Amino acid sequence: MNLDSFYNILSKAHQNKLPLNSEQEEAFKHTYKTPLWIIAGPGTGKTHTLVWLVLKRILVDGIDPERIILTTFTRKAAAELESRIIQSRQILIDAGSQEAEAIDLTRLHIGTLHSLCSDILQNQRYEPTLRIRILEDELVQQFFLRRSRNPLLNNGAVSFWQRFGIAKQNDNFAPIKSVRTEGACKLFNRMTENSVDVNAMMGSGDQDYIQLAEGYQKYQEDLREKYRTDQAHLQRHFLDFLDTPEGEQWIANGFTVLVDEYQDTNPIQEEIYFRLAKKTRDLTVVGDDDQSLYRFRGATVESLIDFDRACKIYLNTTPKPVYLSENRRSHPKIVDFVSRYIKKHPDMKDPVIRVRAPGKPELKAASNITGNYPAVMAIARSTHRDAAHKMASTIQEMLQEKLVSDPSQIALLTFSTRESSQSIGAYTEALELAGIPYYNPRNRRAQRSERFKALIGALTSILDPDDFYLAPNYPLPRNVPQYVASARAEYLQLAPNYSELVQYVNNSVQALKQASPDSKNKYLVRKGGRRVTLSGLLYKLLSFEPFATDLGRQTEGERFKVLNLILAEYESLYYSGEILLSETPNGTSVDNKIMYPFYATFIEGIHDGLNDPEDDEVSIQEGMVNVMTIHQSKGLEFEVVFVLRPDKQPFLSDTHIMEDEFDAFSQRPTKPKLRRSQDMRAAEDGVRLFFVAYSRAKRLLVLTGSNFLKWQRALGADDQGRPITSESALKDMGVHFL
């Protein structure tokens, strides 16, 4: 089929109108002698273009689906992409295309790069990764470092941790072990992703780097020894595989590679993509640098911004840029606001270094949403409470007046959905007071709920009736005893109403005390002789009320699940969760070898609330107003968006510091020659976050918060480039104050 016949059938399937605008058509004309660089603003039909482009590549360019690798950022997005490709093919079949009928889409490689690497390594039976266990969760990676006693965790020099941004400059002491562990994981991940030269680090003569390199080498040895890998190392394994004879054979003919969300690619992924497409030069990257949000996970926005430079280095060629700028999502006034915001923002301008992709046109409004109303509004009050109250009454009115068809068409977006007073507590509280149903997976009630704690309380009551957690000769991390005590208290509060549970806990305590471990079996067993595991106890507790009912409720159930998963990973590292016993004068008790790490590592890991993975694949809950982080809202759209807390200031994070610290050792071929200052990079990141938040809105965008004087970063500059510092300046731009 040639391009004309493809267009014909495509038009036929769409009431005789080609569903592509002239910008999108540019991508379809490309001949792939060089890579294709699609820079697509929000709401410009990026996925739509990508889906039809894949079908065009198969039908017109004759690429075997088996030779196509298509990746995107999350599993959920990958599944959606696959769905859409299958549906689009069906549209062509329904329009009478026999060619479309003949293609076998199940042979396409669609997924996250991570999942594809894992599948390919398995299919190829790459020896070093056969049945390997992946440390998927950050917390689990931390458990691993602790279990393997990584020497870096003993580094007590505050200056070391300050150097990498893990301790504050005015700290007097090195951070506590859990913070060091988290920091060490970040350091190691960044080192892997940036292909850091460990030998150069060792030979640097700089004690900090030498210790870091030693810790890293030990970590790598431990991964090998314990047959585990982390996300970054899995990709390293994949690159190593490509260098084996089997790998060379596998990649010999090269692939057609299409990458979605390329702005959030890290250096090792960049290297993989160029390796996959080395032979064919058939590489298409799609993304929007202005929506890059994952620097803190090692993403490098310059992968997209400087894609032309990378093509020169890897392939000695120049890519063809294609810009998608027609926004079909939002009300024209929202498009204007968003477009001005990113274009005029002082933080996004630099005379030397590219901060945005070159040649990018402004967004153009092209949606069919009209209405002569101020589509951008603001609620600015002197306190969060007042702002929250106004927000809630506005939402209530919209629901009462039926301005939306379902509450889920309204979203509250923010930096962090923790419901603390420093964050958005006032806003969710106002919703609650107004009786507006809302969904926030980080809901305080679920997070620190009495129930969650009571469950931990019940579990530790069984395991530790003698209050080992208070034992002074085994000092636990500061917060742990306090947390366990309050968890026990929550359990005791439940007790009067749940006698069955209490009886079970008490019976179990007795059974444990009376257990008689012998030399053959030193572990706690249930009636019948099977060993009891921590997970086993947790499941059993969940079979009692009130937990059994909680398990069936979404918010609580999902939190219990995370607890269950993390416990399972913990168990795989610590005695498989089996409970070693020892005799004491008070009867039998759980051995210290079990209890100490259970408290110091597991409880320490979960006590401060479970992880809040920013790319958590949230699904929108119907019938409720959805509260989510800006990160979670990526790729979504809502009719009405309240962006909470425009007073939030950008903050310099360890990632910005590590980028500079590792620069000298990075072996990344496309390492930027120059970077902006750390503060400027942090400021850019802040602007991109607000840009993503604003551009989610279809019909109405409401900036909501207090402290108007601090909104400047969130407002940017006006058309003349003057910073917006007053309400009147904002009103002049057509923003309505509620």
Residues 322 to 381: which contact other proteins by CB under 8 A?
369-374, 377
HEC per residue, 687-734: HHHHHHHHCCEEEEEEEEEECHHHCHHHHCECCCCCECCCHHHHHHCC
Q: Is the dihedral of CA 236, 241, 247, 250 positive or negative?
A: negative
| Identified binder of other proteins from the candidate list 17, 168, 279, 553, rule CB under 8 A | 553
- Closer of 213 and 398 to other proteins (Cβ): 398
In this chain, which stretch among 14-22, 201-209, 356-364, 542-550 interacts with other proteins, using CB under 8 A? Answer: 542-550
| Identified binder of other proteins from the candidate list 120, 196, 311, 524, rule CB under 8 A | 524
CA angle, corner 131, sides to 125 and 135, nearest 5?
A: 125
| Identified binder of other proteins from the candidate list 16, 169, 225, 518, rule CB under 8 A | 225
Note the residue count of the chain: 738
Q: Shortest gap between Cβ of 199 and other proteins (angstroms)?
A: 27
In this chain, which stretch among 188-196, 291-299, 310-318, 568-576 interacts with other proteins, using CB under 8 A? Answer: 568-576
Q: Shortest gap between Cβ of 82 and other proteins (angstroms)?
A: 7
Q: Shortest gap between Cβ of 704 and other proteins (angstroms)?
A: 13
| Identified binder of other proteins from the candidate list 1, 3, 18, 79, rule CB under 8 A | 79
- Closer of 123 and 170 to other proteins (Cβ): 123
| Identified binder of other proteins from the candidate list 80, 240, 432, 450, rule CB under 8 A | 80
Q: How far apart are CA 727 and CA 717, in angstroms?
A: 13
Cβ-count burial 558-595 (b if 16+ within 10 Å, e if not): ebbeebebbbbbbbbbbbebbbebeeeeeebbbbeebb
| Identified binder of other proteins from the candidate list 11, 564, 678, 707, rule CB under 8 A | 564
- Closer of 342 and 579 to other proteins (Cβ): 579
Is 152 a residue that touches other proteins (CB under 8 A)?
no
- Closer of 14 and 107 to other proteins (Cβ): 107
Is 123 a residue that touches other proteins (CB under 8 A)?
yes
Residue 296, both tokens? 């803190």
The size of the interface with other proteins (CB under 8 A), counted in residues, is: 80
Q: Shortest gap between Cβ of 372 and other proteins (angstroms)?
A: 5
Residue 126, both tokens? 């790459």
Is 520 a residue that touches other proteins (CB under 8 A)?
no
Is 411 a residue that touches other proteins (CB under 8 A)?
no
Residues 718 to 737: which contact other proteins by CB under 8 A?
736
* DSSP element (H, E) containing 486: helix 479-494
- Closer of 380 and 717 to other proteins (Cβ): 380
CA dihedral 276, 299, 85, 255 (to 10 degrees): 0
* SS3 label, residue 40: strand
- Which spans in 20-165 are helix H? 22-29, 46-59, 75-94, 98-102, 113-123, 138-147, 158-163
Is 102 a residue that touches other proteins (CB under 8 A)?
no
| Identified binder of other proteins from the candidate list 516, 552, 586, 673, rule CB under 8 A | 552
Q: Shortest gap between Cβ of 505 and other proteins (angstroms)?
A: 9
Is 434 a residue that touches other proteins (CB under 8 A)?
no
Is 90 a residue that touches other proteins (CB under 8 A)?
yes
Q: Shortest gap between Cβ of 197 and other proteins (angstroms)?
A: 29
Q: How far apart are CA 128 and CA 153, in angstroms?
A: 27
Q: Shortest gap between Cβ of 620 and other proteins (angstroms)?
A: 10
Q: Shortest gap between Cβ of 382 and other proteins (angstroms)?
A: 20
From the list 301, 273, 360, 337, the residue with the least C-alpha distance to 38 is 360
Q: Which residues contact 620 (CB under 8 A, 6 or more apart)?
A: 408, 626, 636
* SS3 label, residue 679: helix
**220: amino acid identity, one letter:** Q
Is 704 a residue that touches other proteins (CB under 8 A)?
no
- Closer of 162 and 535 to other proteins (Cβ): 535
* SS3 label, residue 642: strand
Residues 234 to 253: which contact other proteins by CB under 8 A?
none
Q: Which residues contact 544 (CB under 8 A, 6 or more apart)?
A: 498, 500, 501, 504
| Identified binder of other proteins from the candidate list 33, 131, 520, 673, rule CB under 8 A | 131
| Identified binder of other proteins from the candidate list 435, 527, 674, 728, rule CB under 8 A | 527
Is 86 a residue that touches other proteins (CB under 8 A)?
yes
Q: How far apart are CA 62 and CA 139, in angstroms?
A: 45
Is 516 a residue that touches other proteins (CB under 8 A)?
no
Residues 376 to 405: which contact other proteins by CB under 8 A?
377, 394, 397-398, 401-405
Q: Is residue 497 packed enough to be buried (19+ CB in 10 Å), middle (13-18) or exposed (0-12)?
A: exposed
R_g (Cα) of the chain, nearest Å: 28
Is 703 a residue that touches other proteins (CB under 8 A)?
no
- Closer of 244 and 712 to other proteins (Cβ): 244
Is 536 a residue that touches other proteins (CB under 8 A)?
yes
* SS3 label, residue 112: strand
Q: How far apart are CA 228 and CA 234, in angstroms?
A: 9
Q: How far apart are CA 410 and CA 641, in angstroms?
A: 6
Is 226 a residue that touches other proteins (CB under 8 A)?
yes
Strands 410-414 and 638-644: parallel
Q: Shortest gap between Cβ of 85 and other proteins (angstroms)?
A: 9
Is 554 a residue that touches other proteins (CB under 8 A)?
yes
Q: Shortest gap between Cβ of 202 and other proteins (angstroms)?
A: 27
What are the φ and ψ backbone dihedral angles of 697, each rounded to 5 degrees?
-80, 135
| Identified binder of other proteins from the candidate list 253, 548, 731, 732, rule CB under 8 A | 548
Q: Tokens 């109303």, residue?
A: 373
- Closer of 622 and 660 to other proteins (Cβ): 622
Is 543 a residue that touches other proteins (CB under 8 A)?
yes
Is 179 a residue that touches other proteins (CB under 8 A)?
no
Q: Which residues contact 631 (CB under 8 A, 6 or more apart)?
A: 293, 294, 614, 615
What are the φ and ψ backbone dihedral angles of 628, each rounded to 5 degrees?
-150, 165
| Identified binder of other proteins from the candidate list 23, 82, 336, 685, rule CB under 8 A | 82
Q: How far apart are CA 685 and CA 692, in angstroms?
A: 11
| Identified binder of other proteins from the candidate list 17, 66, 83, 313, rule CB under 8 A | 83
- Closer of 286 and 700 to other proteins (Cβ): 700
From the list 392, 426, 431, the residue with the least C-alpha distance to 738 is 392
The answer, yes or no, to whether the previous bond of 546 is cis (omega within 30 of 0) is yes
| Identified binder of other proteins from the candidate list 209, 544, 599, 694, rule CB under 8 A | 544
How many alpha carbons fall within 13 Å on the CB side of residue 33? 2
| Identified binder of other proteins from the candidate list 71, 409, 428, 601, rule CB under 8 A | 409
- Closer of 259 and 579 to other proteins (Cβ): 579
| Identified binder of other proteins from the candidate list 116, 411, 537, 644, rule CB under 8 A | 537
User: What is the per-residue binding string for other proteins in 461-480, x denoting contact by CB under 8 A?
Assistant: -x------------------
What are the φ and ψ backbone dihedral angles of 268, each rounded to 5 degrees?
-70, -35
Q: Shortest gap between Cβ of 676 and other proteins (angstroms)?
A: 40
Is 98 a residue that touches other proteins (CB under 8 A)?
no
